[in-house]
Structure 1
């Protein structure tokens, strides 16, 4: 039989109310009682029933977090930032990875709805508006992460991806590159289309003629980047681009890998490469990778604070928090 709070009280020689206070308001209990109850908990292996506690208190101590690519270190850092902030509030993060799959995304949203989490953070892949509205109607706050809420229905925390795309291509142009390829996809991911829009704006506004082509990938992974690099190198040498702007660092690292293994193109002399996110692996690459940095942990911390505030005040007005991107220059884009 599971150990109950009554068993703990009997072992510690205190009342059930004292055990409850030690678990929830230890500052209101004497040090001697805290020590006795803690020792009894350790000896009996007591684990509190959070579901029952939630029913009594009427407030959940969990927040759901749904990301679209759990293998991307950028999202790992965003979740870590949310966890750091959640710990300060006595909240636990329940995490789900959709792997850019709409059906999995719906499954996780519905699961967190059934669990009656206190709030939901989501880096969406598909159209989740209707489901998030149902969450809100049942008293569960939702905040978009790494995605700007264009219609303002929900709060969002993101980086200006259009500005980031513009920064990347402006940097490549400043280093003398004129034949630039944007590599990324799929294009139903809003971040990809925004970064491409910024890249196009920079190319169109350049003082000198700049060509910008698009090389589509099926996913934002190292493998897809490597395959795209192989396709580019299969062209005649005079048709190679002289710079690559990857939609994220994983794609950029795949491109770099394919160029280094092939050996015919030097990075950055023949082909420069810049990514997006500035994950830890970027600086440690064979050729340290230039990137557009996002403040990943700050995004997670900010999103967690907002979702808790909205959980406490459902009438609060949605807000859009947009962080500026930062250009990080390394060896992969040094001037010729």
Structure 2
């Protein structure tokens, strides 16, 4: 069956194509009677207008693209909500793409958003996307880095000082008497992970009797946290760390679940534990989880505001907004 177009609607309603366009886009320009005839024709024919094609002709879109690292992570859910709320206040919508920490999926979303000529792009990148974002800018699509700073300051960014956050977490563990500390994190290609590890190393370097072991996992998920915990449980008791700093709360929750299920490791008695992000589940876990809090919703809101500012003035210099993290101490590290 051939697709229904505006000409078909105009023919059935007995009006011009321009009148159909006015009913759809400028309804105050037509009489109520004419609008009813056009909408009756639309309903009868099952016409759906092609907004994408209309936006391509107009050279702009009412949507922003947002690429996040992991849609399962409540931190990014909250960040996305903040971006959506701020975009809605400006009459815009947000299309979300989940890279799942995979550069190929990230590239596919960038291709799609470029083809759709979205108003702008917010991205928490897997690796170095600078060259691709510069190409998008040449095509009129501005980009803002989210939960990540721009090293060469060529793009606006909204981030949290993750080096400070990592140091904050490990200093807390050291202050509670822990000395054999393990960092559990994903790929160091993810800037947030490498920065949190850098902060942890800086804190350990302040104490001659403290050590830091880095344990890399394949993803920042509960499942990988469980797997990392099992590797630690398999060690002789004297070879285990006495504290673990996890690169995010999902990993920390997986570690906590596996330690509890084993019956061999108590938290915080044997191993103190601290995560990062302070998602809602952190305070509700079996042992309430200490964590480094990030203002997730505020990050999303701020990124949209920077995007809109650049859209209004393309000659403006990129802005870098950096928020400070906050340590939230709960039972998992309080012993």
Return the TM-score normalized by structure 2. 0.88
Is 35-44 or 304-313 further displaced after alignment?
35-44
SS at structure 2 position matched to 1:64? strand
Pair 1:2-2:4 in alignment: yes
Q: Tell me if the contact between 2:225 and 2:252 (Cα under 8 Å) persists in the aligned partners.
A: yes
What is the DSSP-based 3-state SS (H/G/I as helix, E as strand, rest coil) of the residue aligned with 1:181?
strand
Match of 2:251 in 1: 251
How do 1:1-336 and structure 2 match up within 5 A? 1-2=3-4, 4=6, 7=9, 24=25, 47-206=48-207, 209-335=209-335
Contact 1:8 1:46 in 2 (8 A): no
**Rounded Cα–Cα distance in structure 2 between residues aligned with 1:17 and 1:223:** 57
Unaligned 5+ segments in structure 1 are: none
Return the alpha-carbon distance in structure 1 between the equivalents of residues 331 and 139 of structure 2. 51
145-154 or 303-312: which moved more?
303-312
Q: CA deviation at 1:309?
A: 2.2
The number of aligned residues is 332
Unpaired runs of 5+ residues, structure 2, are none
Shift in Å, 1:4? 3.8
Contact 2:127–2:191 (8 Å) recurs in 1: no
**Given that residues 160 and 323 in structure 2 are in contact (C-alpha distance below 8 angstroms), is that contact kept between their aligned partners in structure 1?**
yes
Compared with structure 1, are the counterparts of its residues 258 and 81 closer, same or farther at alpha carbon in structure 2 (3 Å cutoff)?
Answer: same
* SS at 1:209 equivalent: coil
Whole-Å separation in 2 of the counterparts to 1:322 and 1:126? 19
| Contact 2:68–2:123 under 8 Å retained in 1 | yes
- Cα distance in 1, alignment partners of residues 209 and 150 from structure 2: 34
Deviation at 1:126, TM superposition (A): 2.2
Q: Tell me the distance in 1 between the aligned counterparts of 2:31 and 2:234.
A: 73
C-alpha contact (below 8 Å) 1:8/1:37 kept by paired residues: no
Counterpart Cα distance in 1 of 2:319 and 2:226: 39
| SS across alignment from 1:117 | coil
TM-score by length of 1: 0.88
Partners of 2:68 and 2:101 lie apart in 1 by: 9
| 1:223–1:318 Cα change, 3 Å | same
User: SS of the residue aligned with 1:274?
Assistant: strand
- Report if aligned partners of 1:288, 1:331 keep a CA contact under 8 Å in 2: yes
**Deviation, structure 1 residue 109:** 1.0
Helix, strand or coil at the partner of 2:82 = helix
